Structure 1
């Protein structure tokens, strides 16, 4: 066998080390020489323990104070190098990590801590600080290791102190007096373990809180998306329904009557509603943007009168009545009632063209109720209604503690919503001319021919 090829040379050993590894070590050494503070900070941020750098620096500082104090106590043993060797062992993990990238694992900390303490205790002094090295190391291990392993190391550390005391190597004086205060040192080791366990449980609770916050953030985002989807659906369904009704009336006026004034009036209303719908959509979509947006009041129960008026001017036979003091209705409930009424009337236009409708608002001491009734022309189906609109109405009612029912009746369809009253006061709203304000007079103005065209257009895809 060729001995020259059997024994690797020094150059060959250096070549066996990965080039990337040598480069990382060289870069770490150069960075540490140029700026030790920044290098230590960067290295601490790379540790996988997820503790604040100040906490880790504090633990190393405590270990340094104890080590220096224990070394100074042994000045009488100089020129022996055991105290200096013990200091090097106590801090062996720091250069190993900063220069070579070796993570200080619990096993490495345990070996260096036990070896450093044993080296210190090999030379006895009075009022020894050396056992405090074990206390700090036990706390560090308990903060990063599983409980069973950290508890085992705490027991081993206590047994090391007991062993040195029993062997008579740890003395207060040359008379061979054993270490006094051994129970205090053992209690200190136990306290160090408890401190480390508290830090580890704090870290676990921090992880749990982060996970809970992530879950809550996801739920909030999902709920916000659903809310925005409901808002966009309500705005589009309402605005497009009325806009198309106005366009149908304008087309009818131009084709049949050659009445430009009526056509212009219908187009003006359609333009106004279209602009209003675009503003509502921009405001709703703006909720998705992080940039601050101009605050616009949400519609409430006081806007139901204008809502019904829009449908009336578009050609729907609808009237509104109220009973009781609507000022007792809160803003949140008012918005829900507005959206429910908006969706209900849009469904009348969409699914029952040519029908008549009635909106009734009633308030008593316990609740506010809104009922939207509409007829169904003969030949039109009366399905159960499983679309997004009814689902959105139910969600709105449930979020505010209310309830809603929707379904067919003998001659049409009914939507009934009820919300419990709160102590908050809303606006004085739905200002009718009397106890039962009636808008049926304006609602009955559309002509028969306009109604026929509305019905035709609705069947084509409204």
Structure 2
């Protein structure tokens, strides 16, 4: 999208529905008369130019000073009233716009600059300040309108000065009075136009930065929502899977063996895991709260033993082997390995609760590899699901520069997560360039 088109056009904010009845104008004038400073500041703050009110006020004051100095230079022409009319137009333009509550149209500003300068130059003086009205007006117009129109106005202003210089050369204004320093005024027009264009570009880049910040904020919010959704999903899937296994064991103990003690023990474990799940969910949902909090530490690689113990205690046949220095694994990678293992074992409980699961954790100087495999009952399909479990595990791995391989393997199902540990190796992981068949052969 062209950001220049997104910039509010001058006059769009105030002149959309102007009120021109006498009563409203009188009311605004009385409010301005009682507290001109507050009314003027409120008017400047509401202008759609995105320029600081101090800059707009400074430009108007500079124009007023130039007009007053130009009028004083023409004291020899008094009682002629032309200079007074010109300076009155410069002084009253902004208050009139403020009282009428409209945005100064660039065309009106350009026309006022040309007319006021012409009035002054009709009574030429030496070292005239009047052309500075054009210089300042060219800068104001260039800061508000596209370059193609501001260039046209700058050329019109230069043409006006050249016309009066030519007239002075033929002596229409009398001897010893002519416009001096045309080259200096021309350079001033060019400088004023450049300053105005730079201000316009600054305004354009300001809008681009605002849009970029909004996009980044929206993306960050989406990513945070996805992260919290993954956390809630992992917690619920893990806790409910183990709780259901405990409840199933309690039911079997009561129905088959009439063993009340085993049933009570299974129910106590289910209650403990349920309370733990509720605490984890509250902590995860608490991330949405803006107030500062001190959440419990995130689980890491050292908690994988406890995770597997929970599944084993719930009745799932899990065989675990681990090797390597677990202290070499960062907290982020440890959390990802824990969550991937948690989700994988929860899927085993959900889809193949009577199968045997094998968990192997290997940590060396370069990588950390977690492999979860399980047998599948005869006739069970090996197609991938469409839930957010696999996609969440894959996102966790990719965010940390790792890879995740899932799919059927021999007589069962395998999940293999691999993360880099050596920073100098970046994302150059073992087996990245290998095919799935080659990875299986390595196993």
**Which moved further from structure 2: 60-69 or 248-257?**
248-257
Q: Which residue of 1 aligns with 2:116?
A: 116
Partner SS for 1:383: coil
Q: Which residue of 1 aligns with 2:370?
A: 370
Q: Which residue of 2 aligns with 1:332?
A: 332
Q: Which residue of 2 aligns with 1:42?
A: 42
Distance (Å, rounded) in 1 between the aligned partners of 2:193 and 2:155: 10
Alignment of 1:110-149 (within 5 A): 110-149=110-149
**Which moved further from structure 2: 252-261 or 203-212?**
252-261
Q: Which residue of 1 aligns with 2:263?
A: 263
Q: Which residue of 2 aligns with 1:75?
A: 75
Q: Which residue of 2 aligns with 1:401?
A: 401
Alignment of 1:352-431 (within 5 A): 352-423=352-423
Q: Which deviations, in whole Å up to 9, do the C-alpha atoms of 1:375-398 show, x marking residues without a partner? A: 112343332333221111111111
Answer yes or no: is 1:319 the counterpart of 2:316. no
Q: Which deviations, in whole Å up to 9, do the C-alpha atoms of 1:206-257 show, x marking residues without a partner? A: 1111111111112111211211111111111001001111122223333333
Is the Cα contact below 8 Å between 1:68 and 1:87 reproduced in 2? yes
Distance (Å, rounded) in 2 between the aligned partners of 1:375 and 1:286: 38
Q: CA deviation at 1:91?
A: 3.7
Distance (Å, rounded) in 2 between the aligned partners of 1:69 and 1:86: 12
Indicate the structure whose relative CO is greater, using CA pairs within 8 Å and at least 6 residues apart.
1
Radius of gyration: which is bigger?
Answer: 1
Is the Cα contact below 8 Å between 1:371 and 1:417 reproduced in 2? yes
Distance (Å, rounded) in 1 between the aligned partners of 2:332 and 2:343: 17
Residue correspondences, number: 406
Q: Which residue of 1 aligns with 2:107?
A: 107
4+ residue runs over 6 A deviation: none
Distance (Å, rounded) in 2 between the aligned partners of 1:138 and 1:301: 67
What TM-score do the two structures reach when normalised by structure 2?
0.87
**Which moved further from structure 2: 182-191 or 99-108?**
99-108
Closer, same or farther in 2 for the Cα pair 1:403/1:101, shift >3 Å? same
Answer yes or no: is 1:232 the counterpart of 2:203. no
Q: Which residue of 2 aligns with 1:290?
A: 290
Is the Cα contact below 8 Å between 2:124 and 2:178 reproduced in 1? no
Distance (Å, rounded) in 2 between the aligned partners of 1:412 and 1:214: 47
Distance (Å, rounded) in 2 between the aligned partners of 1:379 and 1:148: 74
What TM-score do the two structures reach when normalised by structure 1?
0.84
Partner SS for 1:161: helix
Q: CA deviation at 1:19?
A: 7.6
Partner SS for 1:144: coil
Q: Which deviations, in whole Å up to 9, do the C-alpha atoms of 1:338-382 show, x marking residues without a partner? A: 111001000100001211111100012221101001111234333
The RMSD of aligned alpha carbons is 2.1
Closer, same or farther in 2 for the Cα pair 1:304/1:23, shift >3 Å? farther
Distance (Å, rounded) in 1 between the aligned partners of 2:170 and 2:236: 86
Is the Cα contact below 8 Å between 2:372 and 2:416 reproduced in 1? yes
